[in-house]
Each structure stands twice: as C-alpha cells, then as structure tokens.
C-alpha cells in the first residue's frame, strides 16, 4: 500500500503543471517510499532511505525557493511602496530587480535618451511628465512607464529622445547588470521580459486612445484595473 501511495503521488505530481503542487506531491511520494524502505524488511533499508532522503531534501529546497519567490515577505522594505507599479512581477524577482536599481529625484529637466544613440541604461518613471521626440514628432506622456525598454530588449539604439520634467522621481538600472542577472536566472529573465512587454502594450494603448488615457495621471493604473483616478 505504501508503494501504491507513493506511485500515485508521483504520477499525479508529474501530471500537474503548477510547480508548487508538483513538488508537494513528489514530497509526499518520497515520504511514502521512505516508510516502505523502513518496514519492508526485518531491518530498514538504510541505503535506499538515505538516497530518498537526499532526493526529498533537494525537492524541499526547491519548493521553499518557489514559495519564497512568490511571497510578499521577499519585497525589499525600501521599495515596498512602489511594488504595485510592477504588476505581474513576482516579489522575488522584484527584489532581484531592485537590487540593481538606483532610485532618485531630479531637480531640473533631464534628458534620459537620445534618438539613435546607444542605450546603456534602463529607466522607470515613478512621477513627473515625459516629453518624447521621435522623428520630429513631439508629444508628452504621464509617468508610470519604462524608458529605454525597446533598446534593452532588442539590443539596438534608442528609438526616441526623452526628457523628464524637474522634480521627477526615477529608477535607473545598468542594462549590463540586468543582462547578467538574466543570464544567471531564466525565471528572472522571463519575468523581466514579460514586465517590459506589458509596459510596451500600455504605451500602445496610450497612443491609440490618448484622449481617454491622458485623463489618468499614471499609466501603471491601467494595468491594475482601476476605474477612477485623481490628479496628484
């Protein structure tokens, strides 16, 4: 019965897509196998118990890492106030992202990008107004968006010239640092690319329906599902 129970747990676990549920089922299966090795013979089968215990410990370690990555306890205290600006980014990946970040407020209008120039940095605008010039067209955009994400994703030069208004609060990253972090963790890479892609989708929504969106002070609120906004 212990072998059957272990087998059922392993089969169900491998049929489940959710990684946490999968690991929990495999953990139960390993536990049942250990019980079987303990009682099947007159003396416990210590070699099999040791190996199963190591497998279980490795699985438990991965399970705890998955849970920690999704727990809000992983949010860095200094930046918990801005976590809602990054919808869909797991707390663990947000912690990694902010590990490489520099957060500051500018005192005067500052040019962040130059159209056609190389981009070595990535920005996120927490507050302020963005003035964008692209192919001789000039327009403004509210805060709550990334600046330089297209160049970061495509490894190309800046697609527009961007100037932030005085008093704007920004987050800045070195593109090289983020690429190295992405190489170390495929999960972080996928989470970051998904976040940047969502940001680009919000910008497209802004460009095709500017009159409606411009009544909203921050583009981050579009993704959060908020239906009412007030000016800061």
Across the chain, mean pLDDT equals 84
The vertex-159 CA angle with 158 and 164, nearest 5°, equals 75
The H-assigned helical ranges of the chain are 2-15, 19-39, 46-70, 91-99, 149-154, 175-184, 186-208, 210-213, 220-224
pLDDT at 53: 93
Structure tokens belonging to residue 124: 């996120």
Among 70, 103, 123, give the residue marking a domain's end: 70
Domain of residue 188, residue span = 77-224
Choice between 52 and 219, residue whose per-residue pLDDT is larger: 52
20 and 84 share one domain? no
Is residue 231 very low, low, confident or very high in pLDDT (cuts 50, 70, 90)? very low
Is the pTM here over 0.75, yes or no? no
Of 37, 70, 103, the one marking the end of a domain is 70
- Domain co-membership, 140 together with 100: yes
* Contact yes or no for 76/54 (Cβ under 8 A): no
Quote the CA–CA distance of 159 and 133 in Å, as a whole number.
9
Is 229 within a domain? no
Instruction: Note whether residue 127 is domain-resident.
Output: yes
Q: How far apart, in whole angstroms, are the C-alpha atoms of residue 129 and residue 62? A: 43
- pLDDT for residue 212 is more than 70: no
Indicate whether 218 pLDDT > 60.
no
Last residue of a domain, one of 70, 94, 109: 70
- Examine residue 230 and state whether it is found in any structural domain, yes or no: no
Q: Which helix (H) or strand (E) holds 112?
A: strand 110-113
Residue 14 confidence (pLDDT) above 80: yes
Q: What is the DSSP track for 207-229? A: HHSHHHHTTSSBTHHHHHT----
Under the banding of pLDDT at 50, 70 and 90, the label for residue 208 is low
- pLDDT classification of 222: cutoffs 50, 70, 90: very low
pLDDT in tens, 40-50: 888 899 999 99
């Amino acid at each position: 019965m212990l072998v059957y129970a272990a087998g059922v747990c392993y089969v169900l676990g491998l049929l489940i897509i959710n990684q946490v549920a999968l690991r929990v089922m495999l953990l139960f299966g390993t536990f049942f196998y250990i019980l079987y090795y303990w009682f099947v013979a007159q003396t416990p089968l210590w070699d099999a118990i040791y190996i199963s215990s190591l497998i279980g410990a490795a699985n438990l370690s991965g399970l705890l890492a998955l849970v920690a990555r999704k727990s809000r306890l992983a949010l860095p205290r200094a930046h918990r106030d801005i976590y809602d600006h990054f919808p869909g980014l797991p707390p663990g990946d947000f912690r990694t992202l902010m590990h490489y970040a520099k957060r500051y407020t500018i005192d005067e209008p500052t040019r962040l990008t130059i159209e056609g120039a190389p981009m070595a940095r990535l920005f996120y605008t927490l507050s302020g107004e963005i003035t964008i010039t692209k192919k001789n067209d000039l327009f403004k955009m509210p805060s709550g968006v990334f600046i330089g994400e297209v160049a970061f994703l495509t490894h190309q030069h800046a697609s527009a010239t961007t100037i932030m208004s005085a008093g704007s609060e920004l987050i800045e990253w070195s593109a090289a640092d983020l690429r190295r972090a992405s190489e170390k963790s495929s999960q972080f890479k996928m989470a970051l690319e998904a976040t940047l892609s969502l940001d680009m989708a919000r910008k497209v929504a802004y460009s095709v329906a500017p009159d409606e969106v411009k009544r909203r002070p921050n583009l981050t609120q579009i993704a959060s599902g908020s239906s009412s906004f007030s000016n800061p």
